[in-house]
């Protein structure tokens, strides 16, 4: 357990650089900012009733936060947790230790999750609170945070091995998000079923009042089944599979050139 915590702490310290953190926090807060601008801009111009305000929330949650902000934030952080070890030649420091390879992998995924969730969670909180104040209903804040956590966990599981295996992991990751998940995933239910942001959205929908699911723009999401338990389970299975894959790579492949 000491090694697990140590790897997590050092990984977070190494990867959360100030400039990157500021950039990611700005990106994370962009959804709340967009919503706020919509609220301010609507004053006196058109009817921005509570219903419209709620629809805007659901739209922005899908349109920017869940399927752009969370994946991009997690992509940048998660691909660096093992990718930086390879780039900085510190793999030997990490792997020539009496620690199980699965534990190393799990600690790395956990570090990516914690760091990404802190950044995305702040954005989720800002968006949730802005909406809550506007529609005078705070019942969506916690579900949005839970959905963010689940989506972040699932994305961490996908992007950590990608960062180790590929030199152009960010580019490949963006292609995965925008072409595979958002493009093909919208039309193919099997792809949508294991799409991390949709898994997060299932968790949010499962915990939020039913109105949230009804207002989701289904042309963008495809079919979403509400259910926090199933979403958490999917994220856990993805994490375990990813850790097993990384452990296998650490056992079988050369760890230096």
Partner 1 sequence: MTTTTGPAFASAPTVEVDDVSKWFGQKVAVSGISCSFGPGLTGLLGPNGAGKTTLLRMLTGLILPSQGEVLVKGQGPRTNVDRYREIGFVPEESALYGSLTGEEYVAYAARLSGIANPEQAARQAIETVALSDAKDRTVGGYSKGMRQRAKVAAALVHEPEILVLDEPLNGTDPVQRAHLINLFQELAGNGCTVIVSSHVLQEVERMTERVIAVVDGKLAAAGDISAIRRAMSDIPYRVAIDCDQPRRLGAALLDNETINSVSVETNRIHVETSDLAGLGKVIAGLARDIDTRLSRFSPEDESLESVFRYLVGRR
Binder of partner 1 out of 45, 46, 210, 257 (CB under 8 A): 257
In the bound complex, what is the minimum distance in angstroms from residue 3's beta carbon to partner 1? 5
For position 101 contacting partner 1 by CB under 8 A, the verdict is yes
| Helical axes 2-15 vs 101-135, angle rounded to 10° | 60
In the bound complex, what is the minimum distance in angstroms from residue 23's beta carbon to partner 1? 18
In the bound complex, what is the minimum distance in angstroms from residue 246's beta carbon to partner 1? 15
For position 223 contacting partner 1 by CB under 8 A, the verdict is no
**How big is the site for partner 1, counted in residues (CB under 8 A)?**
26
Distance in angstroms (rounded) separating the CA atoms of residues 105 and 91:
12
Binder of partner 1 out of 90, 175, 214, 218 (CB under 8 A): 90
Distance in angstroms (rounded) separating the CA atoms of residues 81 and 94:
12
In the bound complex, what is the minimum distance in angstroms from residue 87's beta carbon to partner 1? 11
Q: Identify which range of 3-11, 110-118, 138-146, 225-233 contacts partner 1 by CB under 8 A.
A: 3-11
97: alpha, beta or left? (left if phi > 0; alpha if psi -120 to 50): beta
Q: Residue 47 to residues 38, 107, 130, 214: CA-CA distances in angstroms?
A: 12, 50, 18, 21
Give the distance from CA 53 to its chain's centroid.
Answer: 25
Measured over the CA atoms of residue 183, residue 188, residue 193 and residue 198, the dihedral's sign is: positive
For position 251 contacting partner 1 by CB under 8 A, the verdict is yes
Binder of partner 1 out of 40, 46, 47, 98 (CB under 8 A): 98
Binding site for partner 1 (CB under 8 A): 2-3, 6-7, 10, 13-14, 88-101, 251, 254-257
């Amino acid at each position: 357990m000491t090694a697990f915590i140590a790897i997590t702490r050092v990984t977070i310290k190494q990867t959360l650089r100030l400039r990157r953190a500021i950039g990611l926090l700005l990106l994370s807060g962009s959804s709340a900012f967009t919503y706020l601008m919509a609220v301010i801009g609507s004053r006196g111009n058109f009817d921005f009733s509570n219903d419209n305000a709620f629809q805007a929330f659901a739209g922005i949650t899908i349109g920017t936060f869940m399927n752009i902000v969370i994946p991009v934030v997690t992509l940048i952080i998660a691909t660096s947790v093992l990718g930086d070890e390879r780039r900085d030649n510190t793999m030997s420091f990490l792997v020539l230790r009496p620690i199980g390879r699965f534990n190393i992998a799990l600690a790395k995924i956990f570090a990516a999750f914690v760091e990404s969730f802190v950044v995305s969670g702040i954005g989720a909180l800002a968006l949730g609170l802005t909406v809550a104040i506007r529609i005078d209903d705070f019942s969506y804040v916690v579900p949005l945070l839970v959905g963010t956590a689940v989506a972040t966990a699932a994305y961490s599981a996908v992007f950590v091995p990608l960062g180790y295996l590929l030199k152009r992991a960010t580019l490949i990751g963006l292609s995965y998000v925008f072409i595979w998940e958002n493009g093909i995933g919208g039309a193919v239910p099997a792809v949508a079923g294991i799409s991390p942001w949709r898994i997060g959205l299932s968790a949010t929908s499962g915990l939020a009042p039913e109105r949230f699911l009804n207002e989701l723009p289904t042309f963008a999401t495809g079919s979403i089944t509400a259910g926090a338990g199933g979403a958490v389970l999917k994220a856990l299975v993805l994490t375990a599979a990813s850790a097993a894959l990384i452990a296998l790579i650490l056992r079988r492949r050369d760890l230096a050139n």
